[in-house]
Structure 1
Amino acid sequence: MTVTPEAEVIHHLPPDTPADDGVESIAGATTILAIGNITSRVLGFVKEIQLANLFGAGRAVDAFQIAITIPRDLYDLAIFGHTNSALVPVLSEYAARKDKSELWALVNVLIALVMFFAGILVLFMVVFTPQIITLYRGLPRVDFALHPFQLDPSMLTQSASALTPEAFNKTISLLRLTAPALVFMSLFSVLSGILYALKRFVYPAFGAALFNAAIFVSTLLLAPVIGIEGVAVGWVLGAIIQLGFQLLGLRGAKLRLVIRGLPRALRHPGLRKIGLLYLPVLLALIVDVLVNRPFSYNIASQTGEGNVATMAWATNLREFPMGLVGTAISIAILPTLAQQAMRLDLMGAFRDTLGRGVRLALTLIIPASVGIFVLSGPLIGLVFERGAFTAADTQHMSIVLRLYMVGIPFAAIDLLLIFAFYARRDSLTPALVGMFSLGCYIVITLILLPHLGFLSLMIADSTKHLIHMIVSLVLLRRRLSGLGDQRLPMTLLKVGLATMVMALVTWVLARSVAELFPAQGLRERLLLVFVPSIFGGLIYFLLASLLRLNEFNLFVMALWRKLRRR
């Protein structure tokens, strides 16, 4: 039998890796991450409402959005924004060892490198602020809607509207104010990565919530005095506070800033592993930034007024169940998968852990997606329908959200499969599959565009997730000789049955509440969303118990224990 180099390395790693994390452990970690995600998103939503109430949709907010988007994009493009793909698998390898000296040596050199490169990026943003803003606002677009299959240079136009001198100067001052946050955000990623590797989920789970809370408080106290700059100050303070919170989780850790011995520390083998894992991720990210985002936003902007905003808002609502379920479970099982993947004798445990994660995700994401599908209209009406946002806008956005919801279960399972590749130190395969599915997304959109217009983007997006999931599943099954999924068909059957009953009850209740309370005030909108949601959720919970959906029941018990402790 031929042994691959990767397998040979894995086989000789120290045999002190934990054998397994049970469903209860995964459910507990998922619960922590889900609560943190909910808290962060609620605070983020309150923060956005506060910003809109104070400044409206004027130039000050536009300037602020640019001033935070530029450092955030740089953060995403750098390794600091992708701890899950590159840092956590490698750090988990060292965290699994009894001797943690190599782990802290790697973390210390990572901190030094992050401070150095993030500092250079901050200096670059401060010195070349006008040029960066000009470049950012002047990216070209292609008129796909008019010529979907003809891409020639004459179709290039300037997509960004020109900023007035006053708005341009305001953007410059705000970007110089928010730029230092990049250093603290980058350090936060490294520290949250080590906390994930050590399976200390509470601190990174609530970091974003503290970030949003700091912005809210700063805006409340400073914005009436110094204007939009008060929000920018809150952005930097939020980055500092969430970093400090991670340091609380690493009390007793041997952290120090490496300066003198940096040249020797740079030879740490963990750095090479992280670099090799990150390169494919960076390539996929560049393709996404340069191809996917411009393509999608150009199509949206050219197929009807307000479609860009509709797509952005629907995407935010779509990300809510994805963050609560798909992302939370994926992060919860990644450290365990990464440790199990290091040893050939734990491949069975690896398959079992992944199978448990998939089954848990299915029991949560399918009812969540169907529930949002059924209540899309009332939900959008509650959140958005006021002022210039009309009932017609709600109906239009409801269709968009429903089409997005079709693809969410595929996206959630796909994310688990992607993290399984990351755990096996393979980031190239997900990147290649991602570029293939992106190509399918573009082709499907262009085929459907003449017939369905704007909605072709949503259909293509859901199809893209399905394609990515199928290809990833086939490749992973081949490499693992199965996925420990013998119980998956029965889980799907039970979830499908419980979800259908839940959907029917939710739909009937929504219609009944709408007939009983035909007015469109805040109270009626709240009743229209929460009454069907609560009763639908209770029906699903009862059916899950009767059908013995073990993964769901363990998740509920873990959630109850966490809430009782608080």
Structure 2
Amino acid sequence: MIWQRLRTTPWYAWPTLSLSTAEGSLIFMAAFLISAVLGVVRQILFNAHFGVGEEAAALYAAFRLSETVSTLIAGGALTNALVPHLLIAARKNGRAISLLVSRMLTLMLVVTVPVTFTLWLSAPLLLRWIVAPGLDLQTQALATLLTRILIAEIVLLVAEGVLSAVLIARGQFFLPAAGIALRNTMIILTLLMPEPTIVTAAIGSLGDSVIQLLILIPGLWHHRLNLRPAWHLRDPLVRGTLNLAIPGAISGTINYGNAIVDTAIASLGGQAAGLGAMHNALLLGHLPQRLFGMAIGQAAFPYLAAAAVNRDRNLFRWRWLTAIGVAAILAMLSALALIGSGRWLIHLIFERGAFDSAAGDLTFSILQVFALGLPIYVIVEITGRALVALGDARVPLLANATQLLSRLGVAMALWPAVGVLAVPIATVASGVVEVMILCGVLFYRIHMRAEWHTTAYTGIIGERS
């Protein structure tokens, strides 16, 4: 077991300890659980200071906009696209790995600067017309200020996305997981300050991104990467990474587009309480999704990619089916637990200060509906990664785009009748659409398609050999 290995391994060797899928899943689950506990502490402090009022709504809107752009440029799609190409580079030598990392890091930083500046200028219009059109002008002005603070995270996430791929490709999950676990520490410290403001809370969130980057450094020192500015777009590994990263980033942005749709629908009628209740409900509902979807998916991904690069269909199929089977069962049990005891949890955790019982009732109503789709969400998470491991980021993009359209249609159709509950209902309905597309395509590719062994990496491997 992983805990025994950690006890028998010197602590300074943990960053370079290679873990199996099961061990990595446990490490990521622990990280997401710690992050969630700290997230609850953060939310308790945040609710006590700001409740579900206008200042809280402004920060939630700012998070939505900055996170969407960060995902487009640097999110998990960049890391996942780089991992299989690092495995290919490792077949040659360490210098090929350093070159690939240097070229990708340089390219992403060159892209980041103008995008960040454009977002800084256009933040008021984006918030007014897309992200939170139902908020009043004063709240939108505050959201603009907070967005302009948070956009600095983009540069930090670019570097973190590229560098963490080096460790994940080797199954060295400990430091990336530690960064996840510590995600809320700085914002908690700012909320513990005497008379914290909504601006200091945003600055604390920025500090958490700094921690996630710095914590990778010990593991990277071990690999002696020779990083330097480098530009070579014709490198087949760079091109291959971009071919996966670009549709993957768009797909990830659509995921955050879901959050923008949710925020916009919840803000209709100027109801700031709907935004706050939805945020608190998703804080609880997303925990099982992270524990059993993202954690297992991330731990399984480098091994799925290795099976794809090595053209081992049977091994790939077994790893995918095992991952989604375990994740779906755990998610189903979590859904039952949330539906049965969610109201008690909300009362225990959130109901204090400005967060009253009416806010708790609304939060629980949203949570109940959202929990029904948990098994679907985790299968989507793992199956999307499995397709990317095969070198196919276009089908996940298509599936995401389809579910976004269905999500928007269902939410708008139901809003007049059920109000903010239209958001979780649309989430479940669109998840069913997405899982049917992803699982249908992947099932066809690994069970029916005779030429499966010809993956997207065949040409790159040929060029590098």
Does TM, scored on the shorter chain, surpass 0.5?
yes
* Aligned pair partner of 2:77 in 82, 85, 89: 82
Aligned partner of 1:410 in structure 2 is: 376
Shift of 1:202: 0.9
Paired with 1:301 and 1:336, the residues of 2 have a C-alpha distance of: 42
TM-score, normalisation: structure 1: 0.67
Across the aligned residues of Structure 1 and Structure 2, the Cα RMSD in angstroms comes to: 3.3
User: Within 1, Cα distance between the matches of 2:42 and 2:376?
Assistant: 31
Quote the Cα distance in structure 2 between the aligned partners of 1:63 and 1:397: 19
Which residue does the alignment assign to 1:105? 99
Q: Secondary structure at the residue paired with 1:258? A: coil
TM-score (norm 2): 0.81
Q: Which runs of 5+ in 2 are unaligned?
A: 1-18, 450-465
Change over 3 Å in CA distance of 1:62–1:397 after alignment to 2:
closer
* Secondary structure, aligned partner of 2:20: helix
State yes or no: 1:467 paired with 2:433: yes
CA separation of 1:203 and 1:258: change in aligned 2, threshold 3 A: same
Cα distance change on mapping 1:81 and 1:309 into 2, 3 Å: same
Kindly report which structure 2 residues correspond to 1:414-425, keeping only aligned pairs within 5 A, or say none: 414-425=380-391
1:353 deviates by 1.0
Matches within 5 A, 1:352-363: 352-363=318-329
Indicate how the Cα distance of structure 1 residues 403 and 43 shifts in structure 2: closer, same or farther if over 3 A, else same.
same
Change over 3 Å in CA distance of 1:163–1:462 after alignment to 2:
same
One-letter identity of the residue aligned with 1:370:
L
What CA distance in whole angstroms lies between the structure 2 residues aligned with 1:132 and 1:473?
38
The residue aligned with 1:139 is 129
Q: CA deviation at 1:111?
A: 2.0
**1:296 maps to which residue?**
262
Name the SS for the 1:251 alignment partner.
Answer: helix
Structure 2 distance, partners of 1:250, 1:132, is 36
Would you say the 8 A contact 1:181–1:239 is kept in 2? yes
Task: State whether residues 108 and 258 of structure 1, in contact with CA within 8 Å, keep that contact through their aligned partners in structure 2.
Answer: yes
Supply the distance in 1 between the matched residues of 2:226 and 2:117 (Cα, whole angstroms): 24
- 1:162-189 residue CA offsets vs partner (Å, 9 max, x unmatched): 128xx958964x6665544432222111
SS at match of 2:309: coil
- Matched with 1:190 is 162
Q: Distance in 1 between matches of 2:347 and 2:324?
A: 33
Rg bigger for which structure? 1
Does the 8 Å contact 1:122/1:180 carry over to 2?
A: yes
Q: Which amino acid aligns with 2:173?
A: F
* Counterpart residue number, 2:462: none
CA offset at residue 116 of structure 1? 2.9
Residue 306 of structure 2 is matched in structure 1 by: 339
**Matches of residues 30-45 of structure 1 in structure 2 within 5 Å?**
30-45=25-40
Matches for 1:145-544 after TM superposition, within 5 Å: 159-163=134-138, 168=141, 172=145, 178-217=150-189, 220=192, 223-224=193-194, 230-259=200-229, 262-263=230-231, 265-285=232-252, 292-293=258-259, 295-302=261-268, 305=271, 306-344=273-311, 346-445=312-411, 448=414, 452-481=418-447
1:289 deviates by 5.8
Contact 1:88 1:197 survives alignment (8 Å):
yes
How many Å separate the matches in 2 of 1:330 and 1:171? 35
Letter in 2 for 1:208: I
Query: Secondary structure at 1:478's aligned position in 2?
Result: helix
The residue matched to 1:271 in structure 2 has which SS?
Answer: helix
Q: Residues 399 and 289 (structure 1 numbering): CA distance in 2 closer, same or farther, change over 3 Å?
A: closer
Structure with larger RCO (C-alpha < 8 A, sep 6+):
2
Q: How many residues align?
A: 430
Looking at structure 2, the residues matched to 86 and 238 of structure 1 have their Cα atoms a distance apart, in angstroms, of: 24
How far apart in 2 are the matches of 1:294 and 1:229?
21
Which secondary structure state, in structure 1, belongs to the residue aligned with residue 372 of structure 2?
A: helix
